[in-house]
Amino acid sequence: MASLLHVDSAANTSDESITRRLTASFAAAWRDRHGPAAHRYRDLAAAPVPPLTTAFAELGRRVERHGLLPLDRVPELIESPAERREWELTEPLISEMRSADVVLIGAPMYNFSIPAALKAWIDRMTFPGAFGGPGSAQRPLHDTKVVVIMARGGAYGPGTPREGWDFQTPYLRTYFTEHGVREENLFFVAAELTVADFIPQLAALRPAAAGSLAAAEAEVTALAGRLIDPVPVHPPSPVPGG
C-alpha cells in the first residue's frame, strides 16, 4: 500500500494558513484513494521536534567513526541515557521518511527561508547514515517523491525583483537531491502575495494574489491526481513467435 508522510510547519495552525489548506487538500485526495491508514501526519508547530544536543552530536560522530553502521546497529554504540533519549527522538523520524512513498511538506516562507520548526525536523532526521552517504550504494530515498507547498507574502518567482531573495526553494532542492531524491521526483508549488488580502497598502495586488493562489490550488490538484494514480508502465508486448 502506498504511503504518504504529510508534514506541516506553519506556525499559524488556523485556516488562515495557506500551506495548511493546500496540503490538506492533497492529503484528502490521498486518503480518498488509499484510505486513512496510508496517511501519516506530523504537525511541527503543534509537536515541535526538539533541537539537537551535545549527546546527538557525540552519538553521530561515534557512528561516523565506525563507518556509518546500519541504523539498527546504532543502539550498540549508545553510551549514556542522554544519547539513548536522542536516538529515541530521532529514529522514528528517519523511519517515517524512509518508509514513505510520497512526502508532502507545507513550508511557508519565513524571512526568505523555511520555518525553524521545519529546519529542526530536517536537522534531527539527517543523522549520519540515515539516507546513505558519500559512495554508499544504499539510497533509501531514490524512489521517494517529495512535494513542497510554499506560501509567500511577497513575490519571489522567476523574473520578479526579489527572485534572488528566495533562499527557501534552492535550499530544499539541494537538501533533498543531495540525500537521494531524484530531481524528477521533486515538486515545488508556491502561492505568492498571500498578505495582500489583509494589508491595505497592498490592495492593488489582490487580483494577482488571487490568481497565484488559484494557480497553486490547480497545481496541487493536478499533482495529487498524478502522484496518487500514476500512469501505469506496461512492459512491451511479446513479439509473436519470438
List the helix and strand counts (H, then E) for the chain. Answer: 6, 5
The Cβ-side half-sphere exposure at 149, using a 13 Å CA radius, reads 31
Whole-angstrom distance, CA of residue 68 vs CA of residue 72: 11
Whole-angstrom distance, CA of residue 90 vs CA of residue 12: 25
Q: In a 3-state reduction of DSSP, which class is residue 197?
A: coil
Whole-angstrom distance, CA of residue 92 vs CA of residue 164: 36
According to DSSP, residue 234 is labeled P
What are the grid coordinates assigned to 51, written together?
533541537
Whole-angstrom distance, CA of residue 119 vs CA of residue 115: 6
Whole-angstrom distance, CA of residue 205 vs CA of residue 196: 6
According to DSSP, residue 132 is labeled B
| Binding-site residue set for FMN | 109-112
pLDDT of residue 228: 85
- How many Å separate Cα 156 from the centre of its chain? 20
| Binding-site residue set | 109-112
pLDDT of residue 2: 86
- Kind and range of the H or E element at 222? helix 206-228
Per-residue pLDDT tens, the chain, 242 aa: give them: 689 999 999 999 998 999 999 999 999 999 999 999 999 999 999 999 999 999 999 999 999 999 878 899 999 999 999 999 999 999 999 999 999 999 999 999 999 999 999 999 999 999 999 997 655 557 899 999 999 999 999 999 888 999 999 999 999 999 999 999 999 999 999 999 999 999 999 999 999 999 999 999 999 999 999 998 764 444 444 444 43
Residue 121's contacts (CB-CB under 8 Å, 6 or more residues apart) are: 7, 9, 42, 44, 49, 93
- In order of 61, 64, 65, 96, 133, the CA distances from 57 in angstroms are 6, 11, 12, 21, 17
Domain 4-50+99-228 homologous superfamily, CATH: Flavodoxin domain (3.40.50.360)
* Residues in a beta bridge with 41: 6
- Do 86 and 114 touch, CB atoms closer than 8 A? no
pLDDT of residue 240: 45
pTM: 0.91
pLDDT of residue 110: 97
